[in-house]
Amino acid sequence: MDCAIKNGTIVTAERIVKADIGIQGEKVAAIEPGLKGDKIIDASGLYVFPGFIDPHVHLLMAIGDLISSDDFTTGTIAAACGGTTTVIDFTENYRGDDLLEGVKTRRAQADGKVAVDYSLHLTLADATDKTLEQLSLLAQEGYASAKLYTTYEGLRLQDGEILRLLAATRDCGVLPMIHTENNDAIAYLTAELLRQGKTAPKYHPMSRPPLVEAEAANRVTILAQLVNAPLYIAHLTCRETLERVQAARQRGQKVYAETCPQYLLLSQDDYERPGFEGAKFVLSPPLRDKSNWGVLWSALADGALQVVATDHCPWYYETQKVRGRDSFAKIPNGAPGIETRVPLLFSEGVGKGRLSLQRFVEVCATAPARLFGLYPRKGTIAVGSDADLVIYDPDKEVTLSYKTLHQRVDYCPYEGRVVRGYPRTVLLRGQVIVEDGHFIGYAGQGQFIPGKAFAFQS
Ligand code: URP
Ligand code: ZN
Ligand code: ZN
């Protein structure tokens, strides 16, 4: 073997086993005791997890003249240091844009620059014949999922367009990932708040309360039922939306849903921070009442939620978030999290008895790999899989701070929080890219990984 990882406890979604892992080239070649290798990594007392997958990140994302602060290199180095070896970003095309051009542009921004492997969700911002033709072409080239929006200028779709796109994605094996918030309700509530002079960041959650999200989730699940299409709900935040998703499942629909660490660990109280600090937490859908934490943790544990992604979308507080000083509606939406997801989920989930080790691996690696067509190449440890591995010290304590994290942004939403458990060594396709918390790989080491078509059985 080129490399043997010895004496670790291997954790996959299916099993926990003490064995060695043999790596040949880029692949796992053997899993058994007593392996030898040219290079030996001792994992005694440590877990060995599959490389984690973050299926929802926004690197180098433009909103007007602002660009999110992490690019494909800085963001993927941060991902690697946090144990994530594959990220899925999005094409950045808007209504009327050419989808093939959108893919070309995004590939040019990422190829040769990424430090971990990556894939792309298409963005479907209209439902013209041309877009549908291009969708079907791209589905055959490894673009196996697409984001659809019910809000945001230039992205939001009408119900008729959503129906057309759901039928088209169903036919070509592309999993639609939907941002569910009712655009008209947001517009009305925002205008009312601003009219009353309520401009501070703390009014952001009032402009997009839980029912705004739940209504859109309810509507899109019913639209999906009309055309018998599967569906993935992005960044689910609250019990109201979860109830609508569960109702659709009871009707027999295939509906999957992700949540994010910020909805499990932060709350609308964070908008009350002094001065303009609440702007750091302006993201959409917004942070909710703390009573949702238990609902979401239980849903993750019992399988009602399938995935934990980050929705990493960082903006500098000092120079970008401040754009909204006179109105919460002008604050660029999003927050950083690509590097902290795995340590937070391990510490707060496994460490506090809310998630089993296997379920932790399932929601942060295996389920995203399966849903987005990367499994079994990614998302598990098996003979023939990519040797993307995270050797994890369950006892290492780290105090999270923007000063020491690799994310390129001037704050951390979890500043000062202590996590127990941290990646020690991270391998990408057999190469060590993180050692003792230090990135030792290189930009360009990551590859585009095509997604296989979503196998939907009605
Ligand atoms: O506030 C957020 N989440 N910004 C990123 C774009 C999105 O809706 O996912
Ligand atoms: Zn979204
Ligand atoms: Zn997002």
Range of weakest confidence among 88-92, 275-279, 451-455:
451-455
The answer to whether the CB of 68 is under 6 A from ligand 1 is no
Percent helix, strand, coil in the chain, to 5, is 35, 25, 45
Q: Whose atoms come closest to the Cα of 311: which ligand?
A: 3
Residue 261 DSSP label: H
Distance CA 221, CA 209 (A): 19
What is the pLDDT at residue 138?
A: 98
Cβ-based burial of 349 (10 A; exposed 0-12, middle 13-18, buried ≥19): buried
Could you report the per-residue pLDDT of 351-375, keeping only the tens digit for each?
999 999 999 999 999 999 999 999 9
What's the rounded Cα separation, in Å, for the pair 154 and 145? 20
Given ligand 1 and candidates 68, 91, 149, 313, which is best to mutate, with the most ligand atoms within 8 Å of its CB? 313
Does the pLDDT of residue 456 top 90, yes or no? no
Does the C-beta of 284 come closer than 6 Å to ligand 1? Answer: yes
pLDDT, tens digit, for every residue of 13-29? 999 999 999 999 999 99
Give the pLDDT confidence score for residue 46 in this predicted structure.
Answer: 98
Is the C-beta atom of 337 inside 6 A of ligand 1?
no
Q: What is the pLDDT of residue 249?
A: 98
- Tens of pLDDT, residues 35-69: 999 999 999 999 999 999 999 999 999 999 999 99
Mean pLDDT value across residues 109-133: 98
42 CA to centre of ligand 3 in angstroms: 38
**Overall domain count for the chain:** 1
Is the pLDDT assigned to residue 458 strictly greater than 70? no
Ligand 3 centroid – CA 153 distance (Å): 15
Report the nearest atom of ligand 1 relative to the CA of 58: 5
Q: What's the whole-number mean pLDDT along residues 3-9? A: 98
- pLDDT, one tens digit per residue, over 394-429 is 999 999 999 999 999 999 999 999 999 999 999 999
Q: Which of 54, 56, 57, 58 to mutate to test the pocket of ligand 1 (most atoms within 8 A of CB)?
A: 58
The pLDDT, as a whole number, for residue 239 is 98
- 3-state DSSP call for residue 358? helix
- Reported pTM: 0.98
From start to end of 66-167, where are the E strands?
A: 66-67, 84-90, 117-123, 145-149
**Tens digit of each residue's pLDDT (9 = 90 or more) over 432-444:** 999 999 999 999 9
Name 49's Cβ contacts closer than 8 Å, sequence gap at least 6.
11, 83, 361, 365, 381, 389, 390, 392
Please work out whether the CB of residue 378 comes within 6 Å of at least one atom of ligand 1: no
Is residue 244 a contact partner of residue 218, using CB atoms and an 8 Å limit?
yes
Which residues have a Cβ under 8 Å from the Cβ of 2 and sit 6 or more positions away? 23, 24, 25, 37, 38, 39, 430
Q: Does 251 fall in a domain?
A: yes
pLDDT at 455: 75
Q: Is residue 434 part of a domain?
A: no
Average pLDDT over residues 145-174: 98
For the segment 330-355, what is each residue's pLDDT rounded down to a tens digit? 999 999 999 999 999 999 999 999 99
Q: Give residue 15 CA to ligand 3 midpoint distance, Å.
A: 31
User: At residue 86, does pLDDT exceed 50?
Assistant: yes
Token pair in block for residue 106: 């995004």
- Output the domain CATH number for residue 185: 3.20.20.140
Residue 259: predicted pLDDT:
99
> Could you tell me which residues come within 8 angstroms of residue 224 by beta carbon, excluding any fewer than 6 positions away?
166, 176, 230, 231, 248, 253, 255
Q: Identify whether 393 is part of a domain.
A: no
Relative to the CA of 147, which ligand 1 atom is closest? 9
Q: In a mutational test of the pocket of ligand 1, which residue from 57, 283, 328, 330 has the highest number of ligand atoms less than 8 Å from its CB? A: 283
The pLDDT confidence band at residue 250, using thresholds 50, 70 and 90, is very high
Q: Let me know if residue 36 belongs to a domain.
A: no
On whether the CB atoms of residues 339 and 407 are closer than 8 A, the answer is: yes
Q: Could you write out the DSSP letters of every residue in 263-313? A: HHH--GGGGGSTTTGGGGG--SSPP--THHHHHHHHHHHHTSS-EE---B-
Task: State the distance from the centre of ligand 1 to the C-alpha of 8, rounded, in angstroms.
Answer: 37
* 1 within a domain of the structure (yes/no): no
DSSP 3-state of 320:
coil
Q: How far is the CA of 234 from the centre of ligand 2 (A)?
A: 6
In a domain, 418, yes or no: no
Residue 405 belongs to a domain:
no
> Within a 10 A sphere around the Cβ of 404, how many other Cβ atoms?
11
Q: Which helix (H) or strand (E) holds 398?
A: strand 389-399
Would you state the pLDDT for residue 457?
Answer: 53
In percent, the amount of the chain with pLDDT more than 70 equals 99
Q: Which residue range(s) make up the domain with 163? A: 51-371
Whether residue 432 lies inside any domain: the answer is no
